[in-house]
Amino acid sequence: MKNINKWILLLLLVCIALHSCKKEESYNEPASTDMTKPSVVSNVKVQNFSGGANITYSLPNSNNILYVLAQYKINGMTTRETKSSYYSDTIVVEGFAKKQAYDVTLYTVSRANVKSDPLVVKVNPDTPPYL
């Protein structure tokens, strides 16, 4: 009787182990199936500071927005991205090496990872504190 219990327990453990090794692929799917392009942010204001800038904006009136994405170059070669949740109305761009004008491209991104049309904003950060 003890041998039968051991074999049943072993069979049960093997079945559990095989079931737990199943690959699940649903975690990479977008949170929404709405593939419409979101509107761009509006009412954009820039506040420059040493080595960076705060960009405030108004979000479009949509429940499908996930975040706002800012893409910018801090020098001739290095590109950075900064994301801001839809709960916030400000995005901080920083790391600029010189006091000059830089282009920051803003995108609104939906829950299905669809980007809006680009909106280019000029920032003029002051000299970084380490220079």
DSSP string, 100-131: S-EEEEEEEEETT--B---EEEEE--B--TT-
Residue ranges making up the domain that contains 73:
42-123
Supply the CATH number for residue 49's domain. 2.60.40.10
42 and 19 in contact (C-beta within 8 Å)? no
pLDDT at 25 (0 to 100): 64
Beta-bridge partner residues of 46 = 55
Digitized pLDDT (tens) for each residue of the chain, 131 residues in all = 667 777 888 888 887 877 776 666 666 666 677 788 999 999 999 999 999 999 999 999 988 899 999 999 988 788 999 999 989 999 999 998 889 999 999 999 998 889 999 999 999 998 887 76
Total domains, the chain:
1
pLDDT at 22 (0 to 100): 65
